[in-house]
């Protein structure tokens, strides 16, 4: 019981940390791009552009982290067909075979 509670807490903390790091990463990228574009105009526009870019980046980071986690959850529960074989190895679609013989000519 204590172990399952610890695992639940660990999963929650990991999820919050991942989301915060995603927001911060995209906010930094957005701020840099906004500052660079604004810097082409003036010093004041650079700081305003950096602020607006950071805000947009944080919003994109929040959305992107949610979408990525949702995709991973769906892929795990449904299984990704076509990417791997049933045993987890890449599928062999027979593309290297020519007229029933393999590529080595045998």
Task: Indicate yes or no: pTM above 0.85.
Answer: no
In this predicted model, which residue has the larger pLDDT, 98 or 67?
Answer: 67
Interval 63-87: pLDDT, tens: 876 666 667 777 777 766 544 444 4
Tokens of 75: 């892929």
Interval 6-58: pLDDT, tens: 888 888 888 888 888 888 999 999 999 999 999 999 999 999 999 999 999 98
Contacts of 30 (CB under 8 A, 6+ apart): 53, 54, 55, 56, 57, 58, 60
Among 50, 5, 9, 59, residue whose Cα is nearest residue 31? 50
What pLDDT, on the 0 to 100 scale, is given for residue 76?
Answer: 74
What pLDDT, on the 0 to 100 scale, is given for residue 83?
Answer: 47
């Amino acid at each position: 019981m204590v172990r399952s509670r610890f695992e639940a807490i660990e999963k929650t903390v990991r999820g919050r940390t991942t989301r915060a790091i995603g927001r911060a990463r995209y906010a930094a990228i957005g701020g840099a791009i906004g500052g660079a574009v604004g810097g082409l105009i003036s010093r004041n526009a650079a700081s305003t552009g950096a602020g607006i870019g950071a805000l947009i980046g944080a919003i994109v980071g929040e959305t992107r982290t949610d979408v990525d986690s949702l995709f991973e959850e769906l892929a795990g529960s449904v299984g990704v067909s076509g990417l791997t074989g049933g045993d987890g190895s890449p599928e062999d679609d027979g593309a290297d075979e020519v007229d029933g013989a393999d590529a080595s000519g045998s």
